[in-house]
Structure 1
Amino acid sequence: MRIITGAYRGRKLETPRGDDIRPTTDKVKEAVFNILMQDTYDAVCVDLFTGTGNLGLEALSRGARRCYFCDNSRDSLQLAKLNIQKCHAEDKAIVLAGDYSKCLARIREQADIFFLDPPYQAGLYENCLALIDSLDLLSEEGIILAEHGVRDEMPRKVGRLEKTKERRYGRIMVSIYRRTDDAGAGDQEGEEEAE
C-alpha cells in the first residue's frame, strides 16, 4: 500500500497483519481520487473508520488542508499514527479516538470531503449519514464517498444528503452523497462499472 501521487508520492504505508482492518485497495483509492479530481486542494477531510489512514493521507498528499482520522480501534489508530509520521503529516492531521458518533461530535467545523468506510454489513452507513447531516458537518459543496460491498443496500436519501452516483469496482461499490437543501429529487445517475 502506497501513496499514489502528490507531496507524499511513493511513501509505503504500514499495513495490518490480520484481517481485522481492511484497507482500501490502490485500485479503488485511485478511482475515488479520480472522482474527486481537484476537490482535495485546500479541503478539510474526515477519514471516518480510518483503518490505516490510507485515504486521508492520500488527500493530504494531494493538497488537502487538514484531515481528521477517526477510529474506534486502538490497532487502527496506532497504524494511522505511524503512517502519519511516515508522511511527516502531523501538522495537518487530527487523530480522534472513539466510535463514529463520538468522533463526529468532536469535529467543530464543516468538512468538504468525508471518506466513509465502516465494516461492511455492520449496518452503520445510514446512522453515519444521518449524524453527519444532523450535526451539519458537510459543507455546502461537500461530498461523501461511501465504500461498501456490492450487496449492501445504501439509502437514496438521508435528511439533506442524497446519493447522486454510484460506481462499481469488482465486488466493491462507492456511493457518492451530496447535500441537497430541498426536498426534490436529485439527478441520480445509475450504477457504473469501472474497468
Structure 2
Amino acid sequence: MRIIAGENRGVALSAVGKGDAGAHLRPTTDRVRESLFNVLIGGKYGDAVTDARVLDLFAGTGALGLEALSRSAECAVFVDDGRKAQSLIEANIKICRAGDRSTLMRMDATRLPANPDAPYDLVFLDPPYAKALGEKAIAAAISGNWLTPRALVVWEDSAPITVPEALTLLDTRPYGDTKINFLEPK
C-alpha cells in the first residue's frame, strides 16, 4: 500500500500484516483509491480535495485521509476505535510527515460527540462491510455538526446503503465487490 499522488507520491505505508484478527482491517486498494481520487479531483465533483478539511471515519490505516493530505487537503481527522488501526494510523501519519495536519480520535465512529471545531468538507466513510455501521456513523456526524453544507461524503461498502434523510445520493460506482457512494447534504 502506498500514497498514489501528491507530495508523498510513492511513499509506502505500514503493512497491515496479520495484525489483530479481530480488527477486520480491509484497506482500500491502491487501484480503487486511485480511481476514487481521479473522481474527487478531476471528475464531476471538481476538486473536492484541495484545501478540504477531511474527516476519515473507520479510518483503518488512514490511507484515504493521508492520500487527501498528500493532494493538498488542509487537515484530516482520523477516527477509529481499534488498537491495531490506531497504531497503523499513527505510524502512517509519521511516515507521511503529516502530524501537524492530522488528528487521531481514538473512539467509535458511531458515537461521535458534538464537533468542537469547524465542520468538514470531505468525509470518508469506510465501515466494516454489511453491518449497518455506516448509517450510525453518518447519523452521528450529521447530528454532531461535523459536515459543512457543501460536504461530499464518500461512503464505501459492499451492500446497498440506507441514505439518511439529511443526505442525497449523487452517484454509486462499483469496483468489484466494493461500491463507492457519493452523497451530499440536502
How does the TM-score come out when normalised to structure 1?
0.86
Q: Does the 8 Å contact 1:49/1:116 carry over to 2?
A: yes
> 1: CA distance between counterparts of 2:147 and 2:127?
18
Over residues 32-69 of structure 1, what are the superposed CA-to-partner deviations in whole Å (9 max), with x where a residue is unaligned? Answer: 11121121111100111111110010000000010001
User: What corresponds to 2:103 in structure 1?
Assistant: 94
**Counterpart residue number, 1:23:** 27
1:28-39 alignment to 2 at 5 Å? Answer: 28-37=32-41, 38-39=47-48
Q: Does 1:68 align with 2:44?
A: no
Q: Which residue of 1 aligns with 2:4?
A: 4
Normalising by structure 2, report the TM-score.
0.90
Contact 2:129 2:157 in 1 (8 A): yes
Moved over 6 A (4+): none
Match of 1:141 in 2: 150
Letter of the aligned partner of 2:16 in structure 1?
P
Identity between Structure 1 and Structure 2 (%) = 36
Quote the Cα distance in structure 1 between the aligned partners of 2:61 and 2:115.
21
Name the CA distance, whole Å, in 2 between partners of 1:102 and 1:136. 13
Alignment pair present for 1:166 and 2:175: no
- Helix, strand or coil at the partner of 1:21: coil
Q: Give the drift of 1:17.
A: 1.3
SS in 1 for 2:153: strand
Structure 2 unaligned residues grouped into runs of 5+: 42-46
Q: Cα–Cα, structure 1 residues 107 and 139, in superposed 2: closer, same or farther, change >3 Å? A: same
Aligned to 2:122: 113
Structure 1 window deviating more from structure 2 (119-128 vs 89-98): it is 119-128
- Tell me how many residue pairs correspond in the alignment: 177
Structure 1 counterpart SS, 2:136:
helix
Instruction: Check conservation: 1:166, 1:174, Cα contact below 8 A.
Output: yes
Distance 1:127 1:168, change over 3 A: same
The structure with the larger Rg is 1
Q: Verify the 8 A CA contact 2:48 2:152 in the aligned structure 1.
A: no
Q: Return 5+ residue gaps in structure 1 as ranges.
A: 181-195
